[in-house]
Amino acid sequence: MTKLEKIYEGKAKTLYTTEDPDLLIQYFKDDATALDGKKKGVIHEKGKINNRISSRLFRYLEKNGIKTHFVDMPDEREMVVKKMTIFPIEVVVRNIVAGSLAKRMGMEEGAPLKETILELYYKSDPLGDPMINESHVMAFGLAKKDELTQIENTALRINRILSKFFDERGIILVDFKLEFGLHKGEILLGDEITPDGCRLWDKETLEKMDKDRFRRDLGNVEEAYKMILQKVMEHGN
């Protein structure tokens, strides 16, 4: 499959059309941004690592009944995906207090939650992806009510599947971001699932093994990403 026209370039990925109108190529870059784009840098080999991690997790989710946009990984930096109309909503699933939730609630990172929290954010880089709720989604027509219900229920299913997956590999899935879209009328999980959009802590040491190492200048960023790749690839494809 051949990359044709570039149709979108984001912080971490670029999308290209292909000879098949229903398929795109998602190219993973090494660029890294944080703090709403105020901090920029490069994480060596991040694109290759994230492509492999995300491909593995999409395959795993598909085997467990979650429909995704993933088709194939023909190249170390490229993923063939189904073309979708993306819902302008980011779904954040939180299992443990961390990041912006800790700041908002005035709590220490690592505090357990009595139940999983789902947060919705409006996808808009210029606005800094503000938090929204179901009323905003309905009022602004960002998704239909039944679509949002399906998205939220699927996000919780994904959380159960991946929490167990990571736990078996000695990793805590603290929180993570998901995006969904429509392909031929069907809601699919899209984007990526990588240390860029997940908080992943070592179960024994609670060491951060995700993009917080870049955000907070903790060092050993590449090593953390490689360790997650190694853990994710355990027990086959």
Give, to the nearest 10 degrees, the angle between helix 145-167 and helix 46-63. 110
Domain 85-220 superfamily per CATH: ATP-grasp fold, B domain (3.30.470.20)
pLDDT for position 214: 94
Question: What are the residue ranges spanned by the domains of the chain?
Answer: 6-82, 85-220
The residues of the chain scoring below 70 in pLDDT are 36-37, 235-237
How far is residue 101's CA from residue 169's CA, in Å, rounded to a whole number? Answer: 26
pLDDT for position 125: 87
Predicted confidence (pLDDT) per residue in 8-29, tens digit: 998 899 999 999 999 999 999 9
pLDDT for position 234: 86
pLDDT for position 37: 64
Q: What is the signed CA dihedral for 59, 92, 222, 66, rounded to 10 degrees?
A: 0
Q: What does the buried/exposed string (b/e) look like for 69-100 if buried means 16 or more CB atoms within 10 Å of the residue's CB?
A: bbbebeeebbbbbbbbeebbbbbbbbbbbbbe
Domain 6-82 has CATH 3.30.200.20: yes
User: What secondary structure does DSSP assign to 182-211, as a single string?
Assistant: EETTEEEE-S--STTTEEEEETTT--B-ST
189 is written with which tokens?
């999980």
pLDDT for position 210: 96
- Is 85-220 in the same CATH topology as 6-82? no
Closest to 68 measured CA to CA, from 53, 84, 47: 84
234 is written with which tokens?
């355990």
